[in-house]
Amino acid sequence: MNLLKRYPLVLPVLLVFYGSLALAAPGSGEGQSGVSWVSVLPPVVAIVLALITRQAHLSLFMGILIGVCIHTGGIWSGLTTSLDTYLVNSLAGSSSHTSILMFTLAFGGLIGVMSANGGLKGIVAAASKYATNNFRGQLVTAIMGLVIFIDDYSNTLLVGNMMRPFTDSVRISREKLSYLVDSTAAPVASLAAISTWSIFQMSLLDSPYRAHDISANLYLTFLQSIPYSFYCIFTLVFLFSTVLMRREMGPMHKAETRSQTTGAVLAENAQPMVDESLAREFKESKLSHWNNGLIPILAMLAITISGLFITGSEGLENGSPKTLRNIIGNSDANASLIWGSFLAGFIAIIMSVSGGLLSLIKAMDAWINGVRSMVMACIILVLAWTIGDVCTDMKTAEYIVDLTSGFLTPALLPAVTFITASIISFSTGSSWATMSILVPVTVPMSIQLLGGEGNQVVQDPIFLSTFAGVLSGSVFGDHCSPISDTTVLSSTSTGSDHIDHVRTQLPYAVISGVVALLAGYIFTGLGITLIVSLSVGIILMTGVLRIFGKPILHE
C-alpha cells in the first residue's frame, strides 16, 4: 500500500499493460480482412492511460510497448524492439523526421532570444498605448493575440502579463481578459502558416504518408486544411464579435457588468493565479524595442517563403507550369523551415548583441534555454511518429475500417473525428497528446474509407476536414478543460481566478464547438461547399450573440 501511495501511476499502468496482453492472447478474433481486433490496442491503451494518469508521454510509450509486445510475441522482445528499432527508426529512419526536430528546436531557440531581448514584449508594449478605454483595451488585446502567433505559450505569457495593467485601468474584468488571451493563443497558433503548432500538426502526417506511399507535400496539405479548422475560426469570429458588438452572455456578462459598474476586475472571494516569476521572466531590457521581435519574425517568414519558392522551382519537372500551387507542392518545406528558423535566430542574436541588449554569452544562453523549452514537444513528436509506425505494422486502420464498414461512412468521418478529439482533449487536458494519438489512426482510416490513389485522396475535402477535425477538436476540448495547461496558464498570466475563467469561457467555447460541428463538419461530410459552411457558421455565431447577448455599458 505504501508503494502505491508513493507511486500512484504504478497500478493503472500495470493493470492496463497486463490486461492488454491477456486480451491479446492467441485466438483473438479477426475481421473480414484477416486483421485481429488487437490491432487497436496501441491507441486504445494510450488513450485510456492518458485519461487515468494524465501523463501524455508515459501513455504514448505504453501504447507503443503494448503494440510491439503483441507484434513480436513477447514482453522482453517487445521492450527491446520498441527501444532499438521503432524509436530509433522514428528518429534515424526518416530524414524528414530529423529535419522537423531540427526546426522545432531552432524555433524554440529563436523564441528564447526574442523573449530575453524584450523583442516580443516590445511588440505588445508598442500597441498598449492605444488601450485608452474599455473597447480599445479589448480590441488591442485581441489584436495582440493575433500578432504573437508563433507559439501559444509565448502568446499567453506575453499578452496576459503585458496587457493586465492596462485592462485593469479601463475596467476590463480578469475573466474577459483571460478569455481574450486563451482564445487567441492555441486557435491563432494552430491557424498560422508558421508556428510551433503548425509544424507539429504537419509533422504528424509524415508517417501515415510514408506508409501509404503518398508523395504529396506535407506543408501544402496543412495549408489546405486550415479553412476546415472550423472551431478555431469560429472562436475568433465570436471573440471579435463580442468586442465589436459590445455584447456578452451568461456569466461573462455578469463579470463585465461587475467590473464596469464597481471597478472590481475580480469577483468577491476570487483567488487570482498571479505568478510574479512569469512577469520577471519577460522583464523588458532597457533598450528593448518592438523591432527586436518583429525583424527576426519577418526575416524567418521571408527566408522560409523564399526557400519554398527556390526549392519548389528547382523541383518542378520540365514543362510543368510555374504556378504557385505547383511551386509550393514541389517545395522542400523542411529545408525552408530549417533555413528560416536558424537564420532568424542568428539575426536575433546579432541584433541583441550589437544593440547592447544582451552579451554574446547571455544571447547564446537564451537560445539554448529556448531549445530546451522544446524538448518535451520533441519527445511527444518522436512518440507520435513511433505509435504511428506501430499502428501501421499492426494494420490498425484497416481493422477499424473493416469494423465500421457498416457504420462509419466518409460523410460521418469529419464529425465523428471532431467529437472524439474533443472528448479526449477535454479529459486529458492536452491538445498535442490528443493529436499525436488520433492523427496516426484517423489519417490512414480516411485514406482507406475514401479509396482511390493516395495523392488524390489527400486533396479531398472530407480528408482535409477530418485531419482538421482532429486539430480543431483538440483545441475545443482543451479550451473547455480545467486541467489544460494553456487554460491554467491563461488564468495565471492574467491574474484571474482559474475556476472563474473556466466558468465564463465554457459557454462561449461550447457555442463555437456546436456551430463548428453542425455548420462545419456535418456540412462538409454532406458535400456542402466550404464557403457555405463558413458563411452559415459566421451568421450563426453573430446571430446567437445578437439574440442572446446583452449590451455592456462602456465609458
Convert the pLDDT of each residue in 216-226 to its tens digit.
Answer: 888 888 899 99
Task: Domain count for the chain, please give it.
Answer: 2
How large is the angle between the packed helices 56-72 and 41-53, nearest 10 degrees? 150
CA-closest candidate to residue 67, choices 379, 386, 434: 386
- Average pLDDT (234-244) is 95
Distance, CA of 4 to chain centre: 34
Rounded Cα distance, 272 and 287, in Å: 32
| 167 and 305 fall within a common domain | yes
CA-closest candidate to residue 441, choices 14, 47, 103, 88: 47
Question: Under DSSP, is residue 331 helix (H, G, I), strand (E, B) or coil?
Answer: coil
Convert the pLDDT of each residue in 334-380 to its tens digit.
Answer: 788 889 889 999 999 999 998 888 899 999 998 998 888 778 768 87
| 51 and 179 fall within a common domain | no
Convert the pLDDT of each residue in 131-182 to its tens digit.
Answer: 678 888 899 889 988 987 777 776 776 777 677 777 887 888 999 999 999 9
Q: How confident is the model at residue 537 (pLDDT cuts 50, 70, 90)?
A: very high
Q: Which domain holds residue 39?
A: 1-93
- From 375, 406, 434, give the residue that closes a domain: 375
Convert the pLDDT of each residue in 46-59 to its tens digit.
Answer: 777 766 766 767 87
Distance, CA of 526 to chain centre: 27
Q: Assess contact for 448 and 410: CB atoms under 8 A.
A: no
- From 75, 93, 111, give the residue that closes a domain: 93
298 within domain boundaries: yes
Q: Assess contact for 221 and 439: CB atoms under 8 A.
A: no
436 within domain boundaries: no
48 within domain boundaries: yes
CA-closest candidate to residue 491, choices 147, 239, 165, 500: 500
| 195 and 335 fall within a common domain | yes
* For residue 266, pLDDT beyond 80: yes
pLDDT score at 128: 64
364 within domain boundaries: yes
| 155 and 131 fall within a common domain | yes
Cell numbers standing for residue 84: 532499438
Q: Assess contact for 289 and 303: CB atoms under 8 A.
A: no
Q: How confident is the model at residue 29 (pLDDT cuts 50, 70, 90)?
A: very low
Question: 28-42, 141-155, 493-507: which range is least confident on average?
Answer: 28-42
Q: How confident is the model at residue 397 (pLDDT cuts 50, 70, 90)?
A: low
Please state the φ and ψ torsions of residue 247, each to the nearest 5 degrees.
-130, 150
| 70 and 115 fall within a common domain | no
Convert the pLDDT of each residue in 449-458 to its tens digit.
Answer: 887 777 788 8
* For residue 30, pLDDT beyond 70: no
Sign of CA dihedral 277, 278, 279, 284: positive
- From 375, 406, 422, give the residue that closes a domain: 375
Q: How confident is the model at residue 483 (pLDDT cuts 50, 70, 90)?
A: low
Question: 29-38, 172-181, 426-435: which range is least confident on average?
Answer: 29-38
Rounded Cα distance, 488 and 153, in Å: 11
Q: Assess contact for 130 and 166: CB atoms under 8 A.
A: no
* For residue 283, pLDDT beyond 60: no
Rounded Cα distance, 358 and 91, in Å: 35
| 321 and 334 fall within a common domain | yes
| 76 and 136 fall within a common domain | no
Rounded Cα distance, 437 and 197, in Å: 15
pLDDT score at 247: 92
- Average pLDDT (547-552) is 89
How large is the angle between the packed helices 461-480 and 485-494, nearest 10 degrees? 50
* For residue 474, pLDDT beyond 60: yes
- Average pLDDT (536-554) is 89
301 within domain boundaries: yes
pLDDT score at 7: 45
CA-closest candidate to residue 114, choices 279, 296, 278, 277: 296
| 201 and 341 fall within a common domain | yes
482 within domain boundaries: no
| 85 and 101 fall within a common domain | no
In the Cβ-directed half-sphere of 369, how many Cα atoms lie within 13 Å?
13
| 180 and 42 fall within a common domain | no
Rounded Cα distance, 439 and 432, in Å: 10
Q: How far apart are the first and last CA of the chain?
A: 61
Rounded Cα distance, 477 and 484, in Å: 9
13 within domain boundaries: yes
Q: What share of the chain is helix, strand, coil (3-state, %, to 5)?
A: 75, 0, 25
* For residue 435, pLDDT beyond 60: yes
239 within domain boundaries: no
Average pLDDT, the chain: 80
| 162 and 309 fall within a common domain | yes
Q: Assess contact for 182 and 505: CB atoms under 8 A.
A: yes
Q: How confident is the model at residue 252 (pLDDT cuts 50, 70, 90)?
A: very high
Rounded Cα distance, 505 and 180, in Å: 9
* For residue 322, pLDDT beyond 50: yes
| 60 and 135 fall within a common domain | no
Question: 89-103, 242-256, 474-488: which range is least confident on average?
Answer: 89-103
Instruction: Compare 41 and 281 and report the one with higher pLDDT.
Output: 41
